[in-house]
Structure 1
Amino acid sequence: MPNAELLEAFESPTDAPFVIEHICTEFTSVCPKTGHPDFGDVTIRFEPRPRAKGGTCVELKSLKLYFHSFRNQGIFYEAVTNTIRDDLVALMNPVWLQVRTDWRGRGGIRSVIRADHGQVPTEYRGA
């Protein structure tokens, strides 16, 4: 199963509000019904808490290794998206966080899943 223990965080560099966006264009997992590989893009947006309030950011190499832990797992799109959200919220406790997964089409159907935590700013809702 996906391994949240691979995730590492570092202290937020500032007390000023800012938004981080990480995009992974090579995410893979396996369809639990068919056993076929699923390919998608994962976009993570979040606002870390201020440094003075214990704010942290996810370290990118650890995020890559975490994403790779999904590679051979039979897991539905919806579970992938919600698992990533829950694991990152547990790691960082951000002000808000959004995970958006955009899956390559299969059988003429493309899927986009979004899972939010906290009050995601209007400009990112529906994005």
Structure 2
Amino acid sequence: MNNHKFNLLGKQDTKYDFSYNPDILEVFENKHLGNDYFVKFNCPEFSSLCPITSQPDFATLYISYIPARKMVESKSLKLYLFSFRNHGDFHEDCMNIILKDLINVMEPKYIEVWGKFTPRGGISIDPYVNYGIPDTKYEQMAEYRLLNHDLYPEKIDNR
């Protein structure tokens, strides 16, 4: 029997928060504690605002993590990411904030957040951040993945 209590999942009258709100995030118990496995979210409709010009910035976010005891519920993640819509911060700040908020609610073994922003002014910015539990193989994994991240950068024509 499922004993999870979700405030958002299954609700028909979903409310969208138009300002940054990490309290939206909900978690549930990982049923496979003995397994290391990746959970990956592809979020192609992320948007935030430039803190200087207030122009919208659009990105596809890739969030991958190896759960420990808790996992993030996907509808709450969607609503959380939506809460950035009117949030003014640089791309790099948004990715670091998302990483830290997800670490705070899930305490994953490993997590990475990669934002692939659409070009504005002829330049795209693609910040990548990650984290692994200190003094574990997951910290070593984070270091390895950071050092070897994006070894084969994409061409301009495939965006």
Q: 1:27: which partner in 2?
A: 46
Query: Does structure 1 residue 12 correspond to structure 2 residue 21?
Result: no
Q: Which structure has more RCO (C-alpha within 8 Å, separation ≥ 6)?
A: 1
Across the two proteins, how many residue pairs are aligned to each other? 122
Provide the rounded CA distance (Å) in 2 between the counterparts of 1:110 and 1:123.
Answer: 21
What RMSD, in angstroms, separates the aligned Cα atoms of the two structures? 1.5
Provide the rounded CA distance (Å) in 1 between the counterparts of 2:31 and 2:119.
Answer: 39
Q: Which runs of 4+ in 1 moved over 3 A?
A: 120-125
Q: 2:149: which partner in 1?
A: 126
- Name whichever of 85-94 and 15-24 sits farther off: 15-24
CA shift at 1:73, angstroms?
Answer: 1.3
Provide the rounded CA distance (Å) in 2 between the counterparts of 1:92 and 1:3.
Answer: 16
CA shift at 1:123, angstroms?
Answer: 6.0
Provide the rounded CA distance (Å) in 2 between the counterparts of 1:33 and 1:123.
Answer: 32
Residues 13-62 of structure 1 show CA distances to partners (whole Å, capped at 9, x for unaligned) of 2121111110100001111111110000111111011xxxxx11100000
TM (normalized to structure 1)? 0.90
Find the residue that maps to 1:110 and give its secondary structure: coil
Residue number among 121, 131, 142 corresponding to 1:107 in the alignment: 121
TM (normalized to structure 2)? 0.72
Contact 2:20/2:86, CA 8 A, preserved across alignment: no
List runs of 5+ in structure 1 lacking aligned partners: 50-54
CA shift at 1:105, angstroms?
Answer: 0.3
One-letter amino acid of the counterpart of residue 62, structure 2: T
